[in-house]
């Protein structure tokens, strides 16, 4: 019972923090989207009269005061209604959901590459600390964290699309269209996860229980992956949670470079078009995903490390 009460309190606190965060995000995105300018200057005919402008403002609900607009927006958003897109003439939530699969496909592929590449390299780099493999891995990680994402994307396009002609430069279609954007999006995350994994493994490889496992004659592979890696997993799980968030929120640059039809590119286009409902829907729904992932990471972290439940 004591454990259940503590865990319940832990979850309630995290959920309350998430709700406060979402409320703050809604206020910020509402204010900033309206500071970008009047959308009617982009969608109305230059010859429109003042009566036409007033009628369109009333239709969009932009003739009300900001507090009234926000109250209406928040009440509707709580029911899943983010208004109608000014540009697409459809529900903003519907437009967001239409673009979401492309972003999840791109982010999921980049995450899979990270799991298959960064973690094993980070573990082997720690095991062979100071060796040639470790030096090369650290150099690759440093390069990955130093190079801007857009520059990586342009270099990959120049090399594999323009020079070699192996892969397409833009768009979404077959798996060939996915290769370059996924590598570009996951480049920084791979480097970051590699360094975190190496650091976490180095912290546990010198502990007494790992030394004892080796003295007992256990196979080295079992010592590394069952005893050392399991205890280093808390840092890695937290990093994976942060990466999964950044692969969605950070896809804006990658999707723009590769003309990938996802949520990131949709948000950028909506900002330039001053499509308030789409901008608000995209930012808030992404914030919901961020809060959900953070909550999931906290739960997993608390399960792995019981000390977290009592904080």
Give the pLDDT of residue 310. Answer: 47
Task: State the pTM of this model.
Answer: 0.73
Question: Does the structural domain 92-310 have CATH classification 1.10.3720.10?
Answer: yes
In this structure, how many other beta carbons lie within 10 angstroms of the beta carbon of residue 52?
13
Task: Classify the phi-psi angles of 218: left when phi > 0, otherwise alpha if psi is within -120 to 50, otherwise beta.
Answer: beta
Among 63, 37, 65, 61, CA closest to 50: 63
Task: Write out the DSSP string of 76-126.
Answer: HHTTT---B-TTTSSBHHHHHHHHHHHHHHHHHHHHHHHHHHHHHHHHHHH
**Mutual angle of helices 92-127 and 229-249, in 10-degree steps:** 150
Token digits of residue 19: 């709700």
Spatial separation of the C-alpha atoms in residues 106 and 153, rounded to whole Å: 14
Are 278 and 96 spatial neighbours (Cβ–Cβ below 8 Å)?
yes
Retrieve residue 81's tokens.
């209604």
**Structural domain spans, the chain:** 92-310
Tens of pLDDT along the chain (311 residues) come to 555 676 677 778 788 888 888 888 888 888 887 776 666 666 666 666 667 667 766 776 677 777 888 888 888 888 888 888 878 878 888 888 888 888 888 888 888 887 788 888 888 888 887 788 888 888 888 877 777 878 888 888 888 888 888 888 877 777 888 888 888 888 877 888 888 888 888 877 777 776 776 776 677 777 777 667 777 777 777 777 777 776 766 677 788 888 888 888 888 888 887 888 888 888 888 888 888 877 777 776 666 555 555 45
């Amino acid at each position: 019972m004591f454990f259940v009460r503590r865990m319940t309190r832990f979850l309630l606190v995290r959920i309350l923090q998430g709700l406060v965060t979402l409320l703050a995000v809604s206020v910020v995105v509402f204010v900033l989207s309206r500071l970008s300018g009047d959308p009617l200057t982009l969608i109305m005919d230059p010859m429109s009269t003042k009566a036409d402008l007033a009628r369109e403002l009333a239709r969009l609900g932009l003739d009300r005061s900001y507090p009234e607009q926000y109250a209406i927006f928040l009440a509707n958003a709580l029911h899943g209604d983010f208004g109608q897109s000014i540009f697409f003439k459809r529900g903003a939530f519907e437009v967001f959901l239409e673009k979401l699969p492309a972003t999840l496909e791109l982010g999921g592929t980049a995450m899979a590459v990270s799991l298959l590449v960064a973690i094993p390299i980070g573990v082997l780099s720690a095991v062979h600390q100071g060796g040639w493999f470790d030096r090369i891995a650290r150099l690759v990680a440093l390069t990955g964290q130093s190079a801007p994402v857009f520059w990586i994307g342009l270099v990959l396009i120049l090399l594999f699309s323009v020079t070699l002609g192996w892969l397409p430069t833009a768009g979404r279609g077959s798996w060939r269209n996915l290769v370059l954007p996924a590598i570009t999006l996951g480049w920084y995350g791979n480097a970051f996860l590699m360094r975190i994994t190496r650091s976490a493994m180095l912290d546990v490889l010198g502990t007494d229980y790992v030394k004892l496992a080796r003295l007992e004659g256990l196979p080295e592979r079992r010592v590394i992956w069952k005893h050392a890696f399991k205890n280093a997993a808390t840092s890695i799980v937290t990093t994976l949670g942060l990466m999964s968030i950044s692969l969605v929120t950070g896809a804006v640059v990658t999707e723009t470079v590769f003309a990938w039809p996802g949520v990131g590119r949709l948000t950028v286009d909506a900002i330039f078009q001053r499509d308030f409902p789409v901008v608000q829907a995209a930012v808030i729904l992404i914030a919901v995903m961020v809060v959900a992932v953070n909550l999931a990471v906290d739960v997993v972290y608390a399960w792995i490390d019981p000390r977290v439940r009592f904080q």
